[in-house]
Chain A
Amino acid sequence: MRALVLLAALLAATPLPAQEKINRRIAIDSDASIRIWNLAGITRIIGWDRDSLAVTGTVPSGTFYMGGAGRGAKLGVERPEGSKGDLPATLEIRVPRNARVWVKSASASVEASGLSGELECSSVDGSVRVEGSLRLVVAESMEGNLSVYGPMSVVRLKGGGGTITLRGARGDLMATTVGGAILLSDAALRRAHLETVSGPVAYDGTVAARGTLEVITHSGDVTLRLPTEISAEFELSSFDGAILYGLSGKGKGKGEPAPQVGKPMSFTTGGGDARVTVRSFKGEIRVLKP
């Protein structure tokens, strides 16, 4: 009986459309705008030194489209007729390095490498991973992880529950999450604004001269690992969390203030060239050596 039920269920199930391989190519300008829609599966974007757009991959049959030339192009995977969900596709897309790329995803993971232009990516719960040295990265995912590796000029990241990770960040960064962590390593930012509600923040690196680092969190713990010789004005405040300062102060910031709770801590190290501000409601704030 159970086998019959199973068989009936199998027969009633909507058959998955067949998959097809694609291999398409068009000529476009080196700084063209390219718009990509792939809601489920994997989207890989690779910058190359050719003035052309090349797409390979595997998609549900009859769902792939691509058009444009010169200044702009668009491509993507449509939801098959009668399908209630988005079927996964794998796209490998080679674009001119200096292109401006816009990507839309739902659950698809997005990986980009070798680009030097601009990338804007919006996802629901897919992860986004960017490597390279782009002028601009804008990425948003409600639940997926956002990872940015390399010295971008301007980065804007909005997460939700996923982790935001940056390695080798330079330039200008704004990153916000709700419950997700924000983790930076080898950072030397000119300007950074990091904001979470309950997610922790860990910043390992330095702040450029005359640069600013601002962290705002409700209950996430904040750990800053900064060079002992950093020249900065510090303003640390946690309404109901401890503040631990473990840098050896120089110049005006002699010695190390004792840990304290509920009282803001302001001091200057060196000439106070940079500005470091951390505000928390009940998270712990630690400023430590590397």
Chain B
Amino acid sequence: MTCRDFEARADAYAEGRLSPREAAAFEAHLDRCAACAALLERAAGSPPGVAGLARSIEPAEDLWPVIRGRLASLGQRPGRVAIPRWGLAAAALILVALSSGVTAVLLRPAPRTASATLDVSALEAQYAAVSEDLTGALEQARSRLDPATLATIERNLRIIDTALNETRQALANDPGNPALGQMVVAAWRQKVDLLRRATALGSES
């Protein structure tokens, strides 16, 4: 896949319209193309090629409150729908951007500089916002999940939260350590991914 192909398929990927093979190729390109990863990292949640979205809208600041409001209103209705498809697509879009940025950070031999720490802080804020939204969605879906499944999800979340607390504490003690920043971001990524999978299960039940 070329960079041009990548840009052309970004919308389709976010909306889940790519075949598994195309999606895998898209993800593989993200992981190996430093230019596209850097572009996404700079965009911080606004991947290129999303022609239908105004470029001035930063999803983490503007889109998520809308999603939150929408989720809240849907959550008051009886029925099984917890997250609309477009909400999941938007979440996927943000996750792509976050994952790509994180992958770029993880793969890059980062120097011990303040800017590396700042990047981690920005990513943390993004992940925390997504995590909060997904946690709310999971709460709404809780009653629809099998108790054993819920227990599994909560056990895994505890493991991740422990890891997150330990790495954040270590980073607070050594804020210039880029490796610690990367570990914090890795824990956040795991948490958001688990929450995303859990809420998807809840909306299917």
Contacts and interface: CB of A to CB of B under 8 A. Distances in A.
Interface of A: 100, 106, 118, 120, 124-125, 135-136, 138, 140, 142-143, 154, 156, 158, 160-161, 172, 174, 176, 178-179, 191, 193, 195, 197-198, 214, 216, 218-219, 235, 237, 239-240, 264, 277, 279, 281-282
B33 interface: no
Contacts, number: 103
A40 to B, nearest CB: 11
Interface SS of chain B: helix
A197 B201 contact: no
Contacts of A125: 148-149, 152
Nearest to B205: A106
B24 A176 contact: no
Given A154-B28, A176-B193, A281 B20 contact: no
A193 B194 contact: no
A142 B166 contact: no
B186 interface: yes
B135 interface: no
27 contacts: A124-B146, A136-B20, A140-B197, A142-B153, A142-B156, A142-B197, A142-B201, A154-B24, A158-B197, A178-B190, A179-B155, A191-B28, A191-B31, A193-B31, A195-B186, A197-B187, A198-B159, A216-B182, A216-B186, A218-B183, A235-B109, A237-B179, A239-B179, A277-B107, A279-B179, A279-B183, A281-B183
Interface string B154-195: 011001100100110010000001011011001100100110
A154 to B, nearest CB: 5
Interface of B: 19-21, 24, 27-28, 31-32, 106-107, 109, 146, 148-149, 152-153, 155-156, 159-160, 163, 166-167, 170, 177, 179-180, 182-183, 186-187, 190, 193-194, 197-198, 201
Nearest to A280: B183
Contacts of A100: 19-20
Contact of A197 (B32, B160, B198): B160
A90 B186 CA distance: 39
A195 B167 contact: no
B35 to A, nearest CB: 18
A160 B156 contact: yes
A214 B179 contact: no
Given A100-B20, A124-B201, A142-B153, 18 more contacts: A100-B19, A136-B24, A154-B28, A156-B24, A156-B27, A160-B194, A161-B152, A161-B156, A172-B28, A178-B156, A178-B159, A197-B163, A197-B187, A216-B183, A218-B166, A239-B179, A277-B107, A281-B183
A102 B107 CA distance: 32
Nearest to A240: B170
Nearest to A217: B186
A216 B106 contact: yes
A191 B32 CA distance: 10
Nearest to A154: B24
A179 B159 contact: yes
A275 to B, nearest CB: 9
A197 B183 contact: no
A118 B166 contact: no
B194 A138 contact: no
A281 B167 CA distance: 7
Contacts of B28: 154, 172, 191
B183 A179 contact: no
Given A135-B21, A264-B179, A239 B170 contact: yes
B149 to A, nearest CB: 5
